[in-house]
Structure formats: C-alpha cells, structure tokens
Chain A
Amino acid sequence: DAKTTQPNSMESNEEEPVHLPCNHSTISGTDYIHWYRQLPSQGPEYVIHGLTSNVNNRMASLAIAEDRKSSTLILHRATLRDAAVYYCILRPGGTSYGKLTFGQGTILTVHP
C-alpha cells in the first residue's frame, strides 16, 4: 500500500493560515487523498478528500500537486479548536474496504 510522510509537528498562531504538507510519492492513479484530524481524547473526524483537483469545504482546503505526489491541507484561519493531530491518508479506489493506514500524523499546536 502507498504510504504518506508528514512532519511530526507544526505550530501556528491563532487566526493565521496553516499549511500542513503531506508527501505520497508512491500514490497510484486510483488512490484518493484523505485528511482526518483527531482532537484530544476524541475519535478521528473527516476533514476533506480529493483525487486530482483542489477541493474546498467549510473546514479546509486541499491543494493537490499536479503530479499527485504531494498535497497540502490548508486551514485558512487557525483557531484554538484546530489544535489536533492531522492525518493524511491514501484511500485506494476499488474494493479495498476500510484499509486505511494511519501514520503518526502531524501534531498541530495553535498559540493564542
């Protein structure tokens, strides 16, 4: 299975944009790029996903490199509630049910 590489930790100030990078150089043509986050003492929650084109939703934006070997999760204005572990995950297309491989993710610290 293709793997992802993320920085162990990042820091940001409140109300500033945050760019969380993810490398996935062995991504296959049918892999979707998913981002989840896990707030302290909670289960992971879905943030955003994409295949080839950049995506926006109410939580964040996802910028996907043209060669799809990297992506960046963008939080436009970080808040204290965005402090969490962010996981970048490749989800195979087809019938690879549930075989999401969660790495250690990026711990995001947001300073007031």
Chain B
Amino acid sequence: NAGVTQTPKFQVLKTGQSMTLQCAQDMNHNSMYWYRQDPGMGLRLIYYSASEGTTDKGEVPNGYNVSRLNKREFSLRLESAAPSQTSVYFCASSSELRTSGANVLTFGAGSRLTVL
C-alpha cells in the first residue's frame, strides 16, 4: 500500500526561487495536512484541508500557499523561498469520521528542503 506519497524527497533552492511540494494519498481520506519539522523540534502545522475544496491556515502559514487539487492531492507552494524555510516537510492525511478526536493521521516519508 502506498499510503501518503510526497515528491520530491530532496530539493535545494536558492533564495527567491519558487517550488511546489506534491502530496498524494490513496486511502480515500477526506483531510490532508502539511507540517514542517526543524532540527530537534516537533512538527508544526502549516496548512490543512478538512475536505476537498477547503483549506485553512495552521500555526505557521506565512510564506506558503496550498492547493487541494482533488480528494487525493494536496500541494504546498513556496513562492519566494527563504533560508528560514529550510526544513523537512511532512504531508499527512486522515479520514476524519464524525468523532474526529479518534481519527489517526498517516504521514508521508517527508521532503527535505534546503534554501541557500
């Protein structure tokens, strides 16, 4: 089972360049999320999409945009990359049944981004 697939796995950018991180899930989940993880720290939520067609800001949305292309795909775009955006990015998805507190997140393997 593929689960959550992220591309690319590694990327090096120069300051000011743009790029899009792609995420796709094959579990028919309604909700998808983008997190970032900096060295020695926990994960911080950037954006999430509760369902197809909706997106909302998380804890650290500045400098990012997202698109929920369809139920399967949720992309994260950096319009003008900055060194502070050097991080490991994780995409996740969950089914979000009615009792949402019980829902489990499935994470991708991560995309390591370096901005010089």
Contact = CB atoms under 8 A, between A and B. Distances in A.
Interface of A: 30-32, 34, 36, 41-46, 49, 51, 87, 91-105
B101 A91 contact: yes
Interface in B73-110: 90, 92, 94, 96, 99-110
A30 B101 CA distance: 8
A98 B42 contact: no
B43 to A, nearest CB: 4
B31 A93 contact: no
B99 A93 contact: yes
Contact of A94 (B92, B101, B110): B101
A24 to B, nearest CB: 13
A94 B99 CA distance: 6
30 contacts: A32-B102, A41-B110, A42-B109, A42-B110, A43-B92, A43-B109, A44-B43, A44-B90, A45-B107, A46-B106, A49-B104, A51-B102, A92-B101, A93-B99, A93-B101, A94-B100, A94-B101, A98-B33, A98-B45, A98-B94, A98-B105, A99-B45, A100-B43, A101-B59, A102-B35, A102-B44, A104-B40, A104-B41, A104-B42, A105-B42
B101 A51 contact: yes
A32 B94 CA distance: 15
A87 B100 contact: no
Contacts of A44: 43, 90, 92, 105, 107
B33 A102 contact: no
Given A97-B48, A97-B96, A46 B104 contact: yes
Contacts of A42: 109-110
Contacts of B105: 36, 44, 46, 98, 100
B90 A91 contact: no
Q: Which of B44, B99, B104, B109 has the most C-beta atoms of chain A within 10 angstroms of its own C-beta?
A: B104
Contacts of A98: 31, 33, 45, 48, 50, 58, 92, 94, 105
